[in-house]
Amino acid sequence: MKIKEIAIYQSPIKLKEPFVISLGRHDCAENIIVVVTTDDGLTGFGECCPFKTINGESMESAFVVGKYLGQPLIGKNPLDIELCTAIMDAVIFSNSSIKSAFDIALYDIAAQNANLPLYAFLKGKNNKKLITDYTISIDAAEKMAADATKIIANGFQIIKVKLGGTKIEDLERIQKIRSAVGMEIPIRIDANQGWKTEEAVDILKALYPYNIQHCEEPIPRWDFMQLPRIKNESPISIMADESCCDHHDAKRLIDLSACDQINVKLGKSSGIFKALKIIRLAEVANINMQVGGFLESRLAFTASAHLALSSENIVHCDFDSPFMLREDPVIGGIQYSLKGEIIVPDQIGLGASVDSAYLQELTKVVLN
């Protein structure tokens, strides 16, 4: 089997409301869709959401780099994912987001060829509940509390709160949210690198009485040598996110005992191939994980859901972004039931594709 054709699409989708984190504001999901076709007639779909402030990519830059990555893959065996990954890494350093879109499409083809759902191809089982949280953007405390009330009214069981401001601001945000929803509903927080070390320890101690599950990436990613101190002094579990992109980062953080948990995202790891390496390291170290994402559609989050079924150490899911999009061009894929529970497709392969009429309207390039 050989790769016959690769199509790369720019897929911008407006958000229902602005999404605001400590790193900036987003009004649109600027995604890329990759479609890989083989000479045997199999088609694999992949997607990514380049994030300028996290992985240094934009939709436009990923579109250009996608052409660099795709051309040397034409004629290669799509089932040899290790070789295809090595080829992409040899073409250009980093660019993990666009590489992940290619990777997902390749795994879709490989699972189809094996006549297995992707989770089974990854040696996983569809035997555990996947429940997503729902994220509240940074805003005035009153607005965030009102958003929390709506989230609970819509049936979600877990709230994720974006923080990263001053101690006074962030404490007020959590206090008002707790006043609005009570103390029982689980709350996760994500500072997106917004605090300094001393500040992080101080804020985490102040937030402890408010029943916080964990805190993602409290300080700048480059300052990871301070994470062990924060982990040791914080009464709240620390989850590495931006400081853990691939398996090399994971090994470093594990060796440093720098975090209690790891947030795995395909857009950070360059896709499933390297995400599995992170997972294996975390399993050996007995570290639990969350699988999350950026602002992708249900296409990429379907791949993430399959991945989440591949390890018992994956205990958290952050799959709410598709709710934020004004359009849903995905055919098949994960479905959301009551209370944020996720139903993973049992179809062969990824079990998700993109509406052809939607693709026809997008800016694209075809490599063959």
List the catalytic residues. Answer: 162, 190, 216, 241, 265
The two structure tokens encoding residue 74? 């034409």
Helix/strand/coil for 206: helix
Tokens of 182: 């009570």
Q: Which residues pair with 262 in a beta bridge?
A: 240, 289
In whole angstroms, how far apart are CA 79 and each of 33, 84, 293? Answer: 20, 9, 25
Cβ atoms 324, 70 nearer than 8 A: no
- B/e letters for 201-229, b = 16+ CB within 10 Å, e = fewer, are bebbeebeeeebbbbbbbbbbeebebbee
- Residue 264 has phi, psi (to 5 degrees) of -95, 125
- Residue 136: partners with Cβ closer than 8 Å, 6 or more residues away: 144, 147, 148, 151, 159, 160, 161, 162, 177
DSSP secondary structure string for all residues of 214-277: EEE--S-GGGGGGHHHHHHH-SSEEEE-TT--SHHHHHHHHHHT--SEEEEEHHHHTSHHHHHH
Q: Give the 3-state secondary structure percentages of the chain, helix then strand then coil, rounded to 5.
A: 45, 25, 30
